[in-house]
Structure 1
Amino acid sequence: MDISQKSLEKHYEWKGKIEVISRASIKDKEDLSICYTPGVAEPCMAIAEDGNKVYDLTRRSNLVAVVTDGTAVLGLGDIGPEAAMPVMEGKCALFKSFADVDAFPICVDSKDPSEIVDAVALISKSFGGINLEDISAPRCFQIERELKRRCDVPVFHDDQHGTAIVTVAALINAAKVIEKEPSDMTIVVNGAGAAGISIAKLLVRMGFGNVMMCDTRGIIYRGAPWLNPFKREIAEMTNLEERRGTLAQGMKGADVFIGVSKPGIVTKEMVSSMAGKAIVFPMANPVPEIMPELALEAGAFVVGTGRSDFPNQINNVLAFPGVFKGALAVRAKDITEEMKVAAAYGISSVLDPQELAPDRILPDPFDPRVVPAVSKAVMEASII
């Protein structure tokens, strides 16, 4: 039985991957009176007098909303909020399994950014953090920006920032493997959607070399007539040499290729045209921009994908559980750029130099060192 059929059968068996478990034991009338009425009035009044006590007296301190509108689900596209539910439940299960963070799926039946913002903002007092998931670009940028403005808890779009954090962590260690300085690298990022733009911004912030963004029209440059506001913003901070042309032209002589775009658009010839000891991260899922074996045959030295059946899986589960665990621990109001940088370094630091190899640039998601390293880094960055 292949994994897809087995997954379908297990979902029929599970009838949902999460459930609510009571932390309070209710076995007699006294328990009932303490947990509910009349005793519950006392913590209610304590919170009414001091709103911050909600974190001490309720589960809000460890509860994350996983929010989607179902418009960009995995590689499936716009399948709607109901069909997105298995993915959101899965994300909640990962939160609990990897970081002991409670999470609940919220599938919003609207594609209107203002309605989504209103819906999430109005329920945000129930949660310690908001994880946005599988919302299509460019709407996701507007939704995240508005929610950050309106909510008093951290809002984190994992498809953007989780992907960026893990990708940059992988690149930090890959640079060590090929013995090149990050600041000297030429990096091509293909796919100017939510993930690609976030990756490019984080690379620039962390001092990586010349970053070039490409979309379906080719290399993005300042003044390009087809750019939307978000692409115009990234054009101002990338492509320092003002290069123009196709993706293939951009990859010539480049040290790094990062793909968050479409299957099969990179050829062996394009990889062969890159600099020596090239790093290739084709992360389109489930079919990457170029299959790993073809990239290696073409001369790539380090290859990472989003898939679990190849070495160097660039998987968001390395980031978001620890990021939220750290943010919740310090009751952060936002997940800042400094916290994202710290998280990337936290992931990359899990592997000692002697553990690094071309086929091992990231720790395994089940490595028990990952979440503590990331959460500690996030906590420290939030305090500075």
Structure 2
Amino acid sequence: MSSKIKKTDALEYHEFPTPGKIQVLPTKKHATQRDLSLAYSPGVAEPCLEIEKNGQKVYNYTSKANLVAVISNGTAVLGLGDIGPLASKPVMEGKALLFKIFADIDVFDIEVDAKDVDKFVETVKAIAPTFGGINLEDIKAPEAFEIETRLKEELNIPVMHDDQHGTAIISAAALKNALEIAGKEASEVNVVINGAGAASISCTRLYKKLGVQKENIVMCDSKGVLRSDRTDLNKQKKEFTTDKDLYTLQDAMKGADVFIGLSIGNVVSPEMLLSMAKNPIVFALANPDPEISYQLAVETRKDIIMATGRSDHPNQVNNVLGFPFIFRGALDVRAKKINEEMKMAAVHALADLTKQSVPEQVNITYNKKMITFGKDYIIPKPFDLRLISEIPPAVAKAAMDSGVAQLPIEDWDAYREILIERLGTGSKLMRLVTNRAKSDPKTVVFAEADQLNVLKAAQIAYDEGIAIPILLGDKIAIEALMKEIQFEGSIRIIDPKSKEEEQRRNEFAEIFWKKEQRKGMTLLEAQKWMRERNYFAAMMVNESQADALVTGYTRSYPTVARPMIELIGKIKGIRRVAATNLMLTDRGPLFLSDTAMNINPNAKDLTEIARMTDKTMKMFGLKPNLAMVSFSNFGSSSSDSAKKMSEAVNYLHKYYPHVVIDGELQADFALNEKMRRDKFSFSKLQGKKVNGLIYPNLESANISYKLLKEIHAAESIGPIIMGLQKPVHLIQLGASVDEIVNMVCIAVVDAQSRKK
């Protein structure tokens, strides 16, 4: 399955619920008249006067220190060409979003209606005081070269044209590692570059800094090899001409050690690949179709080291590995510019990070047993959370060493801690889970597929390669809805009530009856229940005819949960099934248990809930730090509710010491590490960030997660069922499409974990 984005989905995403992808939010209190007087007149006069006396104070009193402008004139937008500044705005907003979610950098996107270089440069210079850095984007060559050069010379803040340098930095890091694996020296390899635009020129310049010799470089454009006798070349292309007796890409490829494609898809043939030297390095970076497909390339040459720009193949050269973290490091030392030393520092940091032991969370995200440095791993994965703590410090140090930093960093350990904290938002975890689901999609039964939102979720799961849907319900109704939403593909549709399913229905009934016959169940009753979609769906999972099940859209939670517990059964040794909700908050992911199943659990039940929560969080690649929450702290109340929490903690400490948990604790002490440190230095949670809360009863847990969801706008994923033998997950009555898709991702990851 390949990921497909439909026009209607893309337009709807950008228009609703609010047009666009970014917004401005206040960072200061603004509830009272005093707040407003401080924010504006008369209080605002004081920082203005301080900045007038010392311009550097602008970094202390305004957002300049963490604000980047993403600026374009829309002359070279993605693969769309010169579409103009207005049409480029969605792309610039998208870039702004990436800056924020990967490096916590705020962005204003600026679309300039100016193709003239002088006019564009003057415009950017005029607005530059607003920003701590400027990211130039989607400006056509050769103007892009002059614009960047002039702005870097005339401004004292970091300026970078990501189209040029982003790909250069990432591919240079990949090339450095690929050469090491191939056993080749940069100074000796013959390199072919196909494409002669801004990215190609910048890449080649950086490869020279790695040690590649100019005389060993052959660059091609759409007309062939850039030869010194050609009269149609601009200044930048002339920099990489050759006198060799080569005219075509096919000529150039013979005996080449390295091929870098920054052009168009499918221009490299298997014959051309076979003509390359031993252990060839091929970076086919055209998107969406590489210069030669990954599958064809690796089938043609077993000794190849291959990279593409695609996420569905090993070694993705993705600019998001670079620009957020390069600007992060530059901003944090108030660098006057992004120079060659800083770019090379990023190259080496990326290359070195690839050789370090990969954290288990990354292995889990990509559904790999162990990712290790080698032919299929020459560059870090985009979802590697170490990027923010490794690349910015390297860039910042290079800025300091090269004399362009204005705010040196003294405590590097503290700086890394600050960077890690910037990851904060829990939505990053859901991106990791989604990516992991895509790595090994499982069959998921959608038990209410004749509901529009459920079917839309199944469509997204199918199109994105998250899951292989099995649709349950009225076949005619489902097919009509599929036609309405243009849901196409080879999808199984099953109507449990249909004549076609009579044999399977009877087989399921027989199994169910034999299990329940000593509890008053008759065969006739079992046959009747198998006409119900949830019972039928549960039996499909139970009998390994599907990997997972998602249901609950049209019925109350207890109504749906009952057949699941009856048919699926609990994991051996588990007394009670429980539920946890994953809340995606500004402080990071937070698990709340038990939010749906046990009304008033006792101490023994609470120990099981804590253990299951611990296991569930580890399934997400997290290190659980749990707190038993109550209205009291460490025995300050003798109430039954508080005592059972304390008893559960004592039991866990004695018999399950690997579970990191303490309590009972009030919620604010649980979540505020400083408060715990000041008052309860003996706590086993000392120095740890709590990311899981175990509640004394369903009432408090359910109220908490719904308050967080509605008032704090935290995204809720769940309730996630814990303790069943099979991957069965229930959605809330009337859940949104996004909520259903999130639960499908969790169901797939759960199924993957159980397969292992």
Q: Report the TM-score, using the length of structure 2 for normalisation.
A: 0.49
Question: Using the alignment, how far apart are the partners of 1:77 and 1:311 within structure 2?
Answer: 28
Query: How far has the Cα of 1:243 moved from its partner?
Result: 4.8
Question: Using the alignment, how far apart are the partners of 1:336 and 1:2 within structure 2?
Answer: 39
Code of the residue aligned with 2:132 in structure 1: it is G
Larger Rg: 2
Query: How far has the Cα of 1:298 moved from its partner?
Result: 2.1
Gaps of 5+ in 2: 358-371, 402-756
Alpha carbons 2:65, 2:331 under 8 Å: kept: yes
SS at match of 2:168: helix
Query: How far has the Cα of 1:149 moved from its partner?
Result: 2.2
Code of the residue aligned with 1:114 in structure 2: it is D
Code of the residue aligned with 1:224 in structure 2: it is R
Q: Counterpart in 1 of 2:113?
A: 109
Q: Compared with structure 1, are the counterparts of its residues 161 and 302 closer, same or farther at alpha carbon in structure 2 (3 Å cutoff)?
A: same
Q: Does residue 1:333 correspond to 2:350, yes or no?
A: no
| Residue correspondence of structure 1 range 1-384 to structure 2 within 5 A | 2-5=4-7, 6-13=9-16, 14-209=18-213, 210-235=216-241, 239=242, 242-299=244-301, 301-352=304-355, 355-384=372-401
Question: Using the alignment, how far apart are the partners of 1:59 and 1:90 within structure 2?
Answer: 21
Question: Using the alignment, how far apart are the partners of 1:234 and 1:104 within structure 2?
Answer: 36
Question: Using the alignment, how far apart are the partners of 1:196 and 1:4 within structure 2?
Answer: 31
Q: Compared with structure 1, are the counterparts of its residues 243 and 205 closer, same or farther at alpha carbon in structure 2 (3 Å cutoff)?
A: farther
Alpha carbons 2:178, 2:305 under 8 Å: kept: yes
SS at match of 1:350: helix
Gaps of 5+ in 1: none
Alpha carbons 1:75, 1:286 under 8 Å: kept: no
Query: How far has the Cα of 1:229 moved from its partner?
Result: 1.1
Q: What do you get for the CA RMSD once the two structures are aligned?
A: 1.6
Question: Using the alignment, how far apart are the partners of 2:209 and 2:229 within structure 1?
Answer: 22
Query: How far has the Cα of 1:251 moved from its partner?
Result: 0.9
Query: How far has the Cα of 1:4 moved from its partner?
Result: 4.0
SS at match of 2:271: helix
Alpha carbons 2:284, 2:308 under 8 Å: kept: yes
Question: Using the alignment, how far apart are the partners of 2:309 and 2:286 within structure 1?
Answer: 7
Q: Deviations over 1:20-42 (max 9, x none)?
A: 01111111111111111101101
Q: Deviations over 1:190-210 (max 9, x none)?
A: 111100000000011221242
SS at match of 2:217: strand
Query: How far has the Cα of 1:56 moved from its partner?
Result: 1.3
SS at match of 1:341: helix
Q: Deviations over 1:291-330 (max 9, x none)?
A: 1111212216121111222221100000001100011111
Question: Using the alignment, how far apart are the partners of 2:6 and 2:78 within structure 1?
Answer: 14
Q: Deviations over 1:346-380 (max 9, x none)?
A: 11111226721222211111111112221111111
Q: Deviations over 1:126-154 (max 9, x none)?
A: 00111000111111111111211222211
Question: Using the alignment, how far apart are the partners of 2:15 and 2:315 within structure 1?
Answer: 31
Alpha carbons 1:67, 1:107 under 8 Å: kept: yes
Question: Using the alignment, how far apart are the partners of 2:10 and 2:378 within structure 1?
Answer: 29
Alpha carbons 2:261, 2:291 under 8 Å: kept: yes
Question: Using the alignment, how far apart are the partners of 2:316 and 2:14 within structure 1?
Answer: 25
Q: Counterpart in 1 of 2:503?
A: none
Question: Using the alignment, how far apart are the partners of 1:199 and 1:80 within structure 2?
Answer: 26
Query: How far has the Cα of 1:223 moved from its partner?
Result: 4.9
Q: Identity percentage over the alignment?
A: 50
Question: Using the alignment, how far apart are the partners of 1:305 and 1:348 within structure 2?
Answer: 17
Alpha carbons 1:223, 1:232 under 8 Å: kept: no
SS at match of 2:43: coil
Code of the residue aligned with 1:39 in structure 2: it is G
Alpha carbons 1:187, 1:212 under 8 Å: kept: yes
Question: Using the alignment, how far apart are the partners of 1:44 and 1:194 within structure 2?
Answer: 41
SS at match of 1:303: strand
Alpha carbons 2:186, 2:210 under 8 Å: kept: no
Alpha carbons 1:339, 1:382 under 8 Å: kept: yes
Question: Using the alignment, how far apart are the partners of 1:353 and 1:269 within structure 2?
Answer: 36
SS at match of 2:110: strand
Q: Compared with structure 1, are the counterparts of its residues 4 and 71 closer, same or farther at alpha carbon in structure 2 (3 Å cutoff)?
A: farther
Query: How far has the Cα of 1:115 moved from its partner?
Result: 1.4
Code of the residue aligned with 2:218 in structure 1: it is M
